[in-house]
């Protein structure tokens, strides 16, 4: 399974469409900051499953700020990151990952791409797909029970 992770689109639907076309993923995860962008992206690719969480710039009080997904035997948390203070450090995120026995912790908010492994947990921040100078996204693959990830850039 190949998963496209985007965050902080801030109205830039074209960059998200380019990333989907460039990567041809099996599913898409949008980590917030412009909920409506995720809705628009789903209209462009209705056959692709899309999950999303709201960010600090979104007003969706009925939507939970994070989602826990289970793929195969993997525990995956989606969040925007602001509720974990990721702009200051990954300390709270690390504690949550340990407490929840997470295999993958996905977050945005900082606009800075990051890949890191701490203990059993793989942390990935795709950066900002909405950035006009250096738009980035994340790719996570799950094959034979193994998670792997990378950061992708648009030309």
Count Cβ atoms within 10 A of the Cβ of residue 1 and give its class: 0-12 exposed, 13-18 middle, 19 or more buried: exposed
Instruction: Give 144's contacts (C-beta < 8 A, 6+ positions apart).
Output: none
**31-81 tens-digit pLDDT:** 999 999 999 999 999 999 999 999 999 987 789 999 999 999 999 999 999
| Token code pair at residue 130 | 């909405």
Domain at 2-153: CATH code:
3.60.21.10
What percent of the chain is predicted at pLDDT more than 70?
100
CB 41 within 8 A of CB 12: no
- How many angstroms separate the Cα of 17 from the Cα of each of 25, 65, 113? 11, 24, 19
């Amino acid at each position: 399974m190949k998963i496209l992770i985007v965050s902080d689109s801030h109205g830039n639907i074209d960059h998200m469409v380019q990333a989907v076309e460039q990567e041809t993923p099996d599913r898409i995860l949008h980590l917030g900051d412009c909920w409506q962008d995720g809705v628009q992206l789903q209209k462009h690719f209705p056959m692709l499953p899309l999950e999303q969480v709201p960010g600090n710039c979104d007003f969706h009080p009925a939507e939970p700020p994070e989602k826990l997904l289970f793929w195969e035997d993997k525990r995956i948390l989606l969040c925007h990151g602001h509720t974990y203070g990721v702009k200051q450090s990954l300390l709270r995120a690390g504690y949550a990952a340990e407490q929840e026995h997470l295999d993958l912790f996905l977050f945005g908010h900082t606009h800075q791409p990051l890949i890191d492994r701490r203990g059993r947990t793989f942390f990935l921040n795709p950066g900002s797909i909405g950035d006009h100078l250096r738009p980035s996204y994340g790719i996570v693959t799950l094959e034979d029970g193994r998670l792997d990830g990378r950061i992708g850039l648009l030309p």
